[in-house]
Structure 1
Amino acid sequence: MPAAHATFGLAPAVRTGGVLANGVHQLHRDFMDFVVDGHPLLHQLSDLDAVSPLASDVPPAIFVTHVRRLLLEAAPPLPDNRYVIYGCPECEGLECGAVTAVIEQQDTDIVWRDFAWQTTETLDFDRDGYHGIGPFRFDAAQYRAELSRLLPPEDAPEGTAPLLRRRVLLIGSRVAVLAKLAAALRTINIGAEIAADADRVPPTEIRTYTTVLFGASIAEHEKEAVRAAFDRAGAEPVYLDGLTPIIPVLVAQIENALDQSPPEQRRLVRLVAADDEAGVEVTSACRVQLYAYRQDRLHRTHAELVFEDLLEPGKHRIPLNERATRGQSYIVARTLGSVLVTPMAR
């Protein structure tokens, strides 16, 4: 009896960037994840920091090449008919490690099988294979229809494809804070510009912003004027009120707003913090980090990693270090593909 078909889909996903408490910068990457039987395939690879080849910031011609490979219309990049399914989010080099699989057509089906972790062109499958994942058998027509949505229309210039946008407009008068925030965002691969208002921004440029962050000094009538400018341009960005002048917290706010993945396909879905305790909910097993940020009376920022562990699916109550959360503090929760931020309630 032939194996049952699995459904194949694509969904927007994000590898969140950030300025971490130890000063390390982590790149932001938007990509299309593979959804098998309604569940992101990446979630089956517990604690793996990786992105698919269908990332928004690769050059258009390369993006199309990746799609053609998955459609079996271009030669595989590795020996033995192996294709890269997930790779390093920082450099995409095989030497950093990649999840690969054999992709082949069998009659009217497309089969993904023999998933493995690969760092060179040669592979020891017994040692490096993911023996509990797959094989997956997809109906070829449904599989090709889903991937073909990523290809450019016939009348588009050759080698082009629609790419995801990620630009942020920072509105405020505290230029020093916004300049530091813009620099941090650009460092992690997010475009950011600063403006006092949106009146002088051309409509064609306004439509390139997906997120608008208001500084603390912006009055409500000024916010309404910005929203009206975006409405006139036919744009619908996410509007954020900056929680605090602490740059890593603002970056986390923006990262969460830029996450276009469906809520039901996210790993980290809830974060609350009160009385030196955090409540966290995750949908699949993943490593969670909690950072505490605060400013002292001299406006110096203090950051501390207050929790890191692998959590099972469900809700968790996590006690926090009272010293790290005294005064007005903020908690940032991170997984490999999600970030949430909340002020500590007292």
Structure 2
Amino acid sequence: MSAEYTSFGLAPATRAGGLLAGGDVQVHRDFVDFVVDGRPLLFRLSDLDAVSPLASDVPPTLFTAQVRGLLLETEAPLPAGRYVLYGCPECEDLACGAVTAVIERDGEDYIWRNFAWQTDVHADLELNGYHGMGPFRFRGAEYRAALDALLNGPSTGARRRVLLIGARVALLARLAAALRTIGIGADIAQDTEGVPADELRAYGAVVFGRSVGAGERDAVRRAFTAAGVDVPYVDGLAPIVPLLVAQTEQALDRSAPGRRRLTALTAAGDRAEVVVTSSCRVRLTAHRIDRLSRTHVQDLFDAVLEPGRHLVPLDVGATKGRSFLVARTGGSVLVTAVGR
């Protein structure tokens, strides 16, 4: 089979979790994505909420088996030499749908071809094939080195635990429970005094309650600096748990800017501005607090956007008063206050 060589690599990626409008829960997943020709392969699939089989939360034996499969050291899990490249982030059941491809050897090279979406053991390439995608030919040495590094190198898993600092125990308790529901560990403390450095190194972000003063925040930052930990610090915009969850997800995204689909979000008056780097599904949700301190949530936009800058009209009624906007793709979350 003739095909030009394409570079192959791996990069950490995230499927952002969250509490969605209507009470639905979206689980946070960290995984390793495939980088083909310098670009995440998932970015070629515009409307897909999925993770690769190389997820950080699968048992080590299963993770190793997935890597061995991609190296063709084990039998293909599906007929005709097909392997799952992306699956459902909630259950990973084939019945929910998966992106698969034939993986084969040609001499020292590895080839990925005949990409398809399938929901049972047999793929219908004519009906559900990703036509125009691939085939990709990878140099064997580069391909094996990238995957072998997952087996031989030290763990590079993201720190999926956050420290909540503040005195409003009821709100922070609800936030901690919500974060744990979507798969992010959370601990609550008044401050970091006396906390061992090893414990501080386990956290991937710090969330400050609105009641925490400047001096207390500085003390927390000094403690993390002394422990040699560089973490993002989140200032809660409002006492709205789904909004705080979204802010936390945004802080936990430590991927390189060039590997993000959603890169900018601003909102003022009756419109929002969204910037995406590749074709992807974007959802916008408004949160607001009315004069009686009641919270309201409303989904405003859900569509696939092409790469570039987009102006999205907003429902003025959903963003009046003190309001905030959450933009979400499969792998990114951005939060902003709505300006007047």
Q: TM-score range by the shorter chain?
A: over 0.9
Give matches, 1:122-271, under 5 Å: 122-153=122-153, 162-271=156-265
Which moves more between the two structures, 70-79 or 88-97?
70-79
Contact kept? 1:266, 1:283, Cα under 8 Å: yes
The letter of the residue matching 1:135 is P
Are the aligned partners of 2:97 and 2:117 in contact in 1 as well (CA < 8 Å)? yes
Superposed displacement of residue 30, structure 1: 0.8
CA distance in 1, matches of 2:208, 2:146: 38
Contact 1:152/1:162 (8 A) holds in 2: no
Shift of 1:129: 1.7
Cα distance in 2, alignment partners of residues 307 and 93 from structure 1: 28
Task: Report if the CA contact (8 A) 1:290-1:333 is conserved.
Answer: yes
2:287 corresponding residue in structure 1:
293
Matched ranges for 1:1-346 at <5 A = 2-153=2-153, 162-346=156-340
Deviation of 1:162 after TM superposition, in Å, equals 4.9
Q: What is the alpha-carbon distance in structure 2 between the residues aligned to residue 189 and residue 204 of structure 1?
A: 22
Q: Percent identity?
A: 61
Give the whole-Å Cα distance in 2 for the aligned partners of 1:124 and 1:321.
42
Amino acid at match of 1:130: Y
In the alignment, the residues of structure 1 paired with residue 15 and residue 225 of structure 2 have an alpha-carbon distance, to the nearest angstrom, of: 29
* Letter of the structure 1 residue corresponding to residue 52 of structure 2: S
1:124: Cα distance to partner? 2.4
Q: 1:152 to 1:108 in 2, by over 3 A?
A: closer
Residue 290 of structure 1 aligns to which amino acid in structure 2?
L
Q: TM-score, normalised by structure 2?
A: 0.96
User: How high is the TM-score relative to the length of structure 1?
Assistant: 0.95
Q: In 1, are the aligned partners of 2:164 and 2:187 still within 8 Å (CA)?
A: yes
- Across the two proteins, how many residue pairs are aligned to each other? 340
Q: Supply the distance in 2 between the matched residues of 1:62 and 1:269 (Cα, whole angstroms).
A: 33
Query: Residues 168 and 193 of structure 1 are in contact (CA less than 8 Å); yes or no, is this contact kept in structure 2?
Result: yes
| Residue identity opposite 2:45 in structure 1 | L
State how far apart, in whole Å, the 2-side matches of 1:50 and 1:82 are.
18
TM-align CA RMSD: 1.5
Residue 243 of structure 1 aligns with an amino acid whose one-letter code is: L
The answer to whether the Cα contact below 8 Å between 2:282 and 2:329 also exists between their aligned partners in 1 is: yes
User: Does the 8 A contact of 1:11 with 1:262 survive in 2?
Assistant: no
Q: State the one-letter code of the partner of 1:222.
A: E
Q: How far off its partner does 1:127 sit?
A: 2.1
Does structure 2 retain, via aligned residues, the 8 Å contact 1:33–1:42?
yes
